[in-house]
Structures are given as C-alpha cells and as structure tokens.
Amino acid sequence: MKKNKENQMDISFHVSNSSGLDLRGRQSVRATFRLSEACINAISILSAQLGIKQKSVFDHLMEDAQILKDMARELEDIEIDPRERIQKTFVISRRSLSFLDSISSEYDAPRDALVEYSVRRLLPIIARERKKHEKRKELLAEISNHFAEGEKVLSKADEMLGTDDPVVNKLESAMSVYKNAYDDIVKFIDRGKIIEEFQLE
C-alpha cells in the first residue's frame, strides 16, 4: 500500500512538474530584433489576416526544429547591414525565445537573420491571403447592396405597418444583427488593406 502511495506521489510530482515547465514556456517575454520593414509588415499581416496574436506567429516559426537548424547552417557567420533594418520589440513566448537563442548560439547564426528568413517561409500564406482579400472585397460590394436593400424593406414595412407591428420588430432585430456583422466585415477588410501594398519577393 505504501509503495502505491509513493508511486502516486511520484506520478503526481512528474505531472505537476511537467505542467509547471510547460506554463513557464508559454509565459510572454519581450524580445527586440532588427528586421527589414518587409519582414515586420509580414508578421503584422499574418497576425491580422489569420486572426492570431503575433506571439503565435513566432511560435509557429519556431515549431519545426529541423528547418531552423538547416537554415542556421546556411546563415552561419552571415553579416546583415544594420542600416537596412528597423529595431522592433515583439511579445513572444519564453519557449520560442529560448529555442531561437539556443539555435543561434549553437550554429553561430545571427538571431535576427533566423527570424527574417523564417518569416520568408510564410510568404506563400500571405500570397493566398492576398487572393482571399481581393475576393472579400468583391463580396463586400454585393453584401453592401444586399444590406441596403434590407434597409429599404425595413423602411417600407415601417411605413405600411407601423413601428409597433410584430413583423416590423422582427425585421428590425434581423437588420440590427446584420448591421453588426456588416460593420465587422468592413473593419476586417479595411485592416487587410496593408496586404495590398506588400511586396512579395
């Protein structure tokens, strides 16, 4: 019985310790890099278009160890002209920063260059999002016309039946929900305008 209790304690400690390490790895820290303007814009675009935090973009970049190591070997001893770079501070996870630092140190590859070239791997995603952005803009014109027609029907129903009529009230509620959705769509597409000017290499 005593042995079982000891085993349970060992398992409990192991799970608790692993969870603690995992949580510490997910803690947010600030890290400053010197990156090209295009790279900084790419990170912002990915975050906005995919609806994720920039921290999650970095987590995605750091998740494939082999690709990062291969990239680090290619970037060994590379020199980057600081005049072509902008200093920018990001919030990233402690784990991602630790992983980035360790690979940079192990292969003597500049940390900034690792981030820069890692972001370039995501350019195909930006290319796909740009195409989606153009399609969303096309749909927005149709959505705008559809919404305007709905407003006209609501106005007509109000004139024919009066403000207190149940049909008018139901239609008014539906248009209110539509209005909120429409405004959110407009804001989302407006935030995506940065992707129109982004230069894909």
Instruction: For 166-175, write each residue's pLDDT tens digit.
Output: 999 999 999 9
Cα–Cα separations (whole angstroms), residue 43 to 1, 35, 90, 173:
56, 11, 10, 39
Q: What is the DSSP letter of 94?
A: H
Q: Is 74 in the same domain as 131?
A: no
Is there a domain that residue 145 lies in? yes
121 with 57: CB under 8 angstroms?
Answer: no
The predicted pLDDT at position 110 comes to: 87
Cα–Cα nearest to 54, from 72, 69, 39: 39
Confidence check: pLDDT of 26 > 50:
yes
Same domain, 112 and 175: no
Residues 83 and 103 in one domain: yes
Contact 70, 114 (CB under 8 A): no
More confident call, 195 vs 181? 181
Pick left, alpha or beta for residue 51 (phi over 0 → left; psi -120 to 50 → alpha; otherwise beta). left
pLDDT at 18 over 50: no
As a whole number of angstroms, the distance between CA 138 and CA 111 comes to 41
Domain identity same for 83 and 161: no
Domain boundary among 91, 121, 151: 121
Average pLDDT over residues 117-129: 87
- Average pLDDT rounded to a whole number, residues 60-71: 83
Are 175 and 133 in a shared domain?
yes
Last residue of a domain, one of 86, 121, 156: 121
Least confident of 78-82, 85-89, 161-165: 78-82
Do 161 and 189 lie in one domain? The reply is yes
Do the domain assignments include residue 6?
no
88 in the same domain as 39: yes
Distance CA 170, CA 168 (A): 6
Q: What is the domain count for the chain?
A: 2
DSSP assignments along 68-84, one per residue: HHHHHHHTTT----GGG
Q: Choose one of 121, 142, 157: the last residue of a domain.
A: 121
The yes-or-no verdict on residue 156 having pLDDT over 70 is: yes
Kindly state whether residues 154 and 89 are assigned to the same domain: no
Give the pLDDT band (50/70/90) at residue 150. very high
- Report the alpha-carbon distance of residue 48 to residue 42 in Å, rounded: 10
> Does some domain include residue 10?
no
In a domain, 4, yes or no: no
Same domain, 139 and 60: no
* 39: in domain: yes
66 and 112: one domain?
A: yes
- Residue 84 domain boundaries: 27-121
**Pairwise CA distance, residues 10 & 72, whole Å:** 39
